[in-house]
Amino acid sequence: MIKHITTLLLMSICFIHCKQEPKPIPTKEKDVVKEETKEEVQEVAPANNVEEKEPTPKAIPSDWQEIDKATGIAIDIKYATKDNFTKKKIYDCGKCYLRPEAAAKLVEIHNVLKEKYGYGIKVFDCFRPRPYQQRLWDIMPNPSYVTPPEKGSMHSRGLAVDLTIVDKNGKDLDMGTPYDFFGKEAHQDFTGHSSEINKNRKLLKSIMEENGFGSIRTEWWHYSYRTKSYPLDDWVWECE
């Protein structure tokens, strides 16, 4: 009898304890968990919505002026093709930029030739950025033909232009040699040319010098604007 009563007592105690619910997590602790989860989502979510921005086109600096077909001047940049003495393409694309003073004078010269003779200007080379001068030097490291990049040329200052005169049909006047011909026949003082060639060279030389451009003895096509000074420049124009 006593054993039976003891068994019933133990069963009652167990039933009371088993019905008790576990203690809830404190509100403060649950709030902390939610806040941490929210912060992790905020940090990760923006990474899924990142948009790549298109590169901003480089503006043409104010100290450069483009000579384009709108000026009436013919553009034939030889170093943007393989039609040059290196037989390699040096420039990524062919454009003619000069310093504003030199550009204005060149347009003026073109207009005078057109008004007086029905002629015009064709340019073979204008501003040559120093990175392009380096490319040229890497192909032809000979100071007799190419100015060393560390020294720099007037082309790399935006003050030199290689050019010729064309007739009303756009045909080059005969200057005795092609552009970039490295021989005595290309020299300004060569006396073995015809009177027609001498007349054409004299016209080019006189009108360029009258407008502030100076020549060099060994190249009939090369003229540098001498009334203004600019530093060497690394700026490279964009290609479409």
Instruction: Return the closest-CA partner of residue 160 out of 211, 197, 120, 125.
Output: 125
> Per DSSP, which regions of 79-119 are E strands?
96-98
Tokens 């649950």 identify what position?
Answer: 30
Output the six-digit token pair for 17.
């304890």
Give the C-alpha separation, 39 to 121, whole Å. 68
Q: Tell me, letter by letter, the H, E, C secondary structure of 135-162.
A: HHHHHCCCCCCCCCCCCCCCHHHCCEEE
Q: What are phi and psi of 184, to 5 degrees?
A: -65, -25
Give the C-alpha separation, 165 to 204, whole Å. 7
Catalytic residues: 219
Residue pair 152/232 in contact (Cβ under 8 Å)? The answer is yes
Q: What are phi and psi of 98, to 5 degrees?
A: -140, 165
Instruction: Return the closest-CA partner of residue 232 out of 140, 159, 139.
Output: 159
Tokens 């009177």 identify what position?
Answer: 195
Output the six-digit token pair for 16.
């009371």
Helices and strands (H and E) in the chain: how many: 5, 7
